[in-house]
Structure 1
């Protein structure tokens, strides 16, 4: 992509180094990138090549002419996107659980990056095709994508400063009595390099959770992240003995509800992914500064799981343990006599 920019150095920058002054005048670009352009001769000051360390007096005319190489080399692919919101600076989308975010050895194409490049080819010039934060494979939900270098830089900085709030819904194994916080460092598992774990020398990680509904041996939680470590929610919940249902890596032993219906047993045994969904995202718009909140509704598989858990809980509370899903052929195992 060809880029042309020009400006006049403001008087208040007098005495600064050229690269320092230009970093202030062009906040969309990193200082290291500006230094590279100066070294390569892509930036001229009053028509002549200059040095990064040269001091400016104010009033100089600066011209930039350069080619920006694509940051992403993935192939655009026509893959449907569930877009919740889009403008000139950002895309907010609802990621389906069956799509991987970035191309990798096991997933060279068919990823969210491939889909984004087809939707907007200009994203090839933005780092990571504009993706600001990732979701694990098989985790669904709301994500934000930056469409410009300036928006990407702002959103990444806001994420690091914890100005972007992310809330997830998850269904975990175990009866969680009350909400709480897990403040435990996360790093590579000492023996299995494909896994993460709570380790003493890991990076700080903080996860807050609260109970939405209890279902006996399962609990529906709302989780908020302060940090964004790899597999953070899954690792933290497994660490406190409430692993995410369906988690193929950290899930642990399956616990079935007492006298569960055939349908409930089947969905618990065969849930095809971790029951984890990025429900809400709150951010400041990188251009307007407006605080915006987005919601990605629960996907069908998690809705079905919660409906079956609710039916089972209600049936048990009312004293009936009818377990056959066909009411015409159901066998009543017992009915509690409250008298």
Structure 2
């Protein structure tokens, strides 16, 4: 056992040396855990921001002016007036996300309780912005109409007190969500790519034959690749959480980072094993990339990191329970977003350990077959 551990350690140092000598992979790791996290967090916002609004005002009353004056930045750009016959054209060309249409005698009908209609045309190709923005516009219109009719500019009162408390993200800031999720997804992506690339690199450089004549076993080679590449990913993830997320983006981390890293290490055994498994079916980096792409896309999109698991069909939810990424995302969100402790996340950790063992054994079996074929 001592000799096995010594061989794994030395082979892992060789892997780290090979990684250090590959500037492309080093640049990829730095980019993925720095600029990619920052750019996605600040650029891909889910909330309404600077949405373009146009309006058709056939009433030109004080009420319509009041409503238009309440549509303000930063959610909306100042509304621009267009003619009634231009609505279809500006919507088709994508010039505006929202177009409001006020009918003639709108103010008079409101005062006489005739319930006039205000049309809100929404470009729903941008679904998140369209959905949230239309809700904001409806709220603005209702509020301003209620204030105008009552003659009181104070906040309108309801027969009940509705208290909404936003837990874990009080300002509903999408940067808090997307920055952390980007790191979680990048751990999955790089775990597969780095370990697979390490095996492909051995083949392309001809060093796999050198390993075969050495007194080492396939399990030692495989475990060495896992711990060396996993170490590089863990270090990069820690630095990204500290420098990019907490320092630059000022996103608070609610839970224990050591507990998150411990769970990430358990998870890395399965996804690095998956990377080696995929690499055994290919002979070059282009083939490996083409094989990995659909696997990574499915793992990320259906793991709960992009959309909630509850919104998926039940059968798909059951299938995705076999993917370690599903449990890692749930584990990471519970710790980093909600401050959960070991007493809450331990079931996810148990499942990750079980799936890691399965993936590792399957990858090891396939790796031994591949080594025997090369020999």
Q: TM bucket by the smaller chain?
A: under 0.3
Structure number with higher relative contact order (C-alpha < 8 Å, ≥ 6 residues apart): 2
Q: Under a length normalisation based on structure 2, what TM-score does the superposition of the two structures give?
A: 0.24
Q: Under a length normalisation based on structure 1, what TM-score does the superposition of the two structures give?
A: 0.25
Task: Select the structure that is richer in helix.
Answer: 2
Task: Select the structure that is richer in strand.
Answer: 1
